[in-house]
Chains A and B, each alone.
Chain A
């Protein structure tokens, strides 16, 4: 690839950024089209760069890192890890954009036109910043792009600012991202102290000369706030429901993965303290995963539920990363390679099925106008395609074969079980804990998604739908179809997809060995065979059934009601009842409150009552809200100085000047 074309690439990228402002100019529909062209163009260019890097890296002819020359020499550096993330980002951005074409139709009628244009502009800039981030090594530019990403996603989140709570969610998101920014700034500043450029590459020197884990901790907190690890997650369950569905899908699918990218990038420079860091990451990720899914089960708001599941899947990805680091610590290449490969593949898989789930949920919400799953039901009869898409996403996210979630969890399990072969006590105990937590996460995710899918799509409607729901628009269906295809393909043909991911993991983190790769890849062929066998057996069974029932009658009859004569749809099992035993089991940890119902003494025929359940995010209430309230109470006492009168402020200035004079006279300052 000649240097000329590289320059052209980067210039084109910059031109695109400038022309994106054109979105603000014409009418609403034209601005949508301009946005679409920009999105596709940026996606095309960056993906081309990424794929080119990957191909040259694995054909072995050229060095695996490519720098794109342009306005600023060696600013954009793409290695296979960055290429992987760029491809993930572009895929979900494209599907998100296609989805928004139909989804925003009803908003376009209601909202002022300039707001819609700003929304599309923010979408384009979100993509630009996300795509550029993996390419940047320079700390200053990286943080600029990071901030740009935060600001554009903030604008996207508060699109629906007339709704109650959206603005608050957006502001909490903004504040927490800036706290993370502070940590990143600190980390970059410390690691690049004394060097002439602020860059990731300085980390290599830093890690060689100092203790590794404090710097890793700083970066982990900074990136973890974006990703959504355990204590750092409190913005997620508010921001994702508040945002429109395509934004939720994009944010949950790819934006939080950039936090993971940051952690992975720092990990590539690690040179010591592997065991401690690996163990810490594993434990935090295990807690994150279990906590996320435990909270998700008790939610009634479908988007909040999906947001908590994002936290859970970040936990699973973190488990993979932790196992990778730990594998390097114990010197077992298979554990390390499988761990990293599982984390990377799960990043891809999660972006696929989470965006799919958010799109389906968004279609349903736009038809029934409520996010509460207790008021829905029986939607499969009205929106079959959406229901099928959601079902595929639900099966995939629970990690069940034959879809892609199983493949990435299988890789992480492979890493864990091979780590058991290391006969040292503490590592066996650590891996035992990680196996236990991953199994628990899988079981709980199954509980949650059977609940969601069944309550929303199956059975009968639990409240009246006015007007009756219709199937989602064409664009929304295409947007859902886009992720479905890889979800199914990765599950059925895992060997095709795991090999490149494994190579990427090995090129970035672990020295590659042929036997190691073979050991990890071999089960993939068998899984493919087993999935094919499953599909074949299902088809055979269906054909057999058709055969046997040629001459028989297939009828329908009412559902067995055990002799009750007044069965109606309100007596179906609700989501709250489905998880009631689980809620009582986890009651010491997550308090579930039920509304109390009283009957008067003379109420012989009780009138209608309202019943609510709600569960509390105990991290939010104890670690964030309580100290925040405490500080506000203390600071309120100081607010007495803000009287609003000009004379008082002049008096303050005078007092301050007197203070300075006195201190200077006493030679204190």
Chain B
């Protein structure tokens, strides 16, 4: 229960923090940290405009996206706090629930009959296909390392030893890249761009509005919080006291958000054809991590 509350709280503050850091990095003061949540609140109370060409798919796809991401977040351990649902192999359900969300987004974007949205959907499908092996190889490596088969078990790296921090850092690096790719941040896709030809995620929701758009945006916030919590679980040893764990969790999330913000400010987005290479590089790093784990466990 605590885990769920922490994830929800993080999802409320995370995007605002990123925007704030980006503003400060470019010399402005920037909007308040709760501004994205206020935007969602406004959206929740607005009417909806559907496209004339769309059918039932546009009506229910945003709801399914939100539902699947929300259920996926029920399985995430947060810095030693147990999630609501935890069983052997739950990371498979987690990854495939995110795939369900992606499926629904793609067909919702085709429903409007717009070529821009089809373009974004095509890129989203391809990048989603390429990033799944990275996540699974990382999880497989952790399964070999810890001998456990559930998310709670995997991200429970032994505390008190020297290896904890190093593995945590590498896992955080890989998970951070996966976050960037899943949520389409720079360098994959600039969320602030206004050119439809270059968008990936924003263009898929061009014809979504009101409550539906609020659901989809909130799902993206939850995804940030989910990956951030995984990073926090990898970095924070479990044998700290409750207060210390909470404090370090908040610190890790703030540092993560700040890092994403800084990277977005000081990095340009890649050319479109470099995106595939970027994702494959992340996969390669996961494979390297797997090999290193093989060595540590003396399997080699």
Contacts and interface: CB of A to CB of B under 8 A. Distances in A.
Same complex origin of A and B: yes
B89 interface: yes
Nearest to A526: B87
A459 B53 contact: yes
A384 B125 CA distance: 25
Nearest to B206: A560
Contacts of B96: 399-401, 406, 442
Contacts of B52: 556-559
A562 B112 CA distance: 14
Contact of A542 (B54, B63, B297): B63
A439 interface: yes
Q: Determine the interface band of chain A, counting residues with CB < 8 A from chain B.
A: 35 or more
Interface stretch (A69-77, A261-269, A279-287, A546-554): A546-554
A454 B106 contact: yes
Nearest to A450: B106
A522 B53 CA distance: 45
A527 interface: yes
A575 B118 CA distance: 10
A-B interface, 3 closest residue pairs, ranked by CB to CB distance from nearest = A573-B118, A454-B110, A443-B129
Given A410-B92, A439-B133, A458-B55, A425 B113 contact: no
B47 A578 contact: no
A440 interface: yes
Contacts of A395: 100, 103
A465 to B, nearest CB: 16
Nearest to A459: B113
A455 interface: yes
B47 A553 contact: yes
Given A425-B300, A459-B53, A534-B68, A529 B85 contact: yes
Interface stretch (A122-130, A580-588, A594-602): A580-588
B278 interface: no
Contacts of A579: 122
B250 interface: no
Contacts of A523: 87-90
Contacts of A555: 47-50
A425 B93 CA distance: 27
Interface string A431-466: 010011001101110110111011100111000000
A573 B110 contact: yes
Nearest to A437: B133
Nearest to A538: B67
B140 A435 contact: yes
B99 A400 contact: yes
A522 B150 CA distance: 12
Contacts of B137: 432, 435-436
A549 B50 CA distance: 14
Nearest to A579: B122
B47 A562 contact: no
Interface string A399-429: 1110000100110011001101101110010
25 contacts: A380-B55, A381-B55, A391-B107, A401-B96, A410-B92, A443-B132, A446-B99, A446-B125, A446-B129, A447-B125, A451-B125, A458-B111, A526-B85, A530-B75, A548-B44, A549-B210, A556-B50, A557-B51, A560-B112, A561-B114, A573-B110, A573-B121, A580-B122, A581-B122, A582-B129
A450 B63 contact: no
B107 A417 contact: no
A364 to B, nearest CB: 16
A144 interface: no
A30 interface: no
A439 B297 contact: no
Most buried by B among A439, A542, A556: A439
A613 interface: no
Given A554-B47, A558-B52, A577-B118, A530 B93 contact: yes
Contact of B107 (A378, A453, A552): A453
A523 B89 CA distance: 7
Contact of B211 (A425, A439, A527, A548): A548
Nearest to A394: B103
Contacts of A582: 126, 129
Contacts of A421: 143-144, 147
Contact of B115 (A391, A455, A573): A573
A8 interface: no
A432 B89 contact: no
Nearest to A438: B136
Contacts, number: 238
B66 interface: yes
A436 B138 CA distance: 11
B268 to A, nearest CB: 21
A410 B95 CA distance: 11
Given A435-B136, A459-B110, A459-B112, 18 more contacts: A378-B53, A417-B140, A418-B149, A420-B144, A435-B140, A440-B129, A443-B130, A443-B132, A444-B129, A450-B106, A451-B125, A455-B110, A526-B85, A533-B71, A554-B49, A558-B52, A560-B112, A569-B113
Q: For chain B, what secondary structure do more than half of its interface residues adopt (helix, strand, loop), or is it mixed?
A: helix
A548 B40 CA distance: 13
B23 interface: no
A519 interface: yes
Contacts of B147: 421
A537 B71 contact: yes
B170 interface: no
B33 interface: no
A533 B53 CA distance: 32
Nearest to B139: A417
A545 interface: yes
A581 B143 CA distance: 33
A409 B93 CA distance: 10
Contacts of A585: 126, 276
Contact of B57 (A424, A458, A548, A557): A458
A398 B103 contact: yes
A432 B140 contact: yes
B231 interface: no
Interface string A143-169: 000000000000000000000000000
Contacts of B119: 573, 577
B63 A545 contact: yes
B60 interface: yes
B196 interface: yes
A658 interface: no
Contacts of A432: 137, 140, 290
B211 A410 contact: no
A572 B121 contact: no
Most buried by B among A391, A414, A523: A523
Contacts of A444: 129
Interface in B62-94: 63-64, 66-68, 70-71, 74-75, 85, 87-90, 92-93
Nearest to A540: B67
A237 B154 CA distance: 42
A245 to B, nearest CB: 23
A2 interface: no
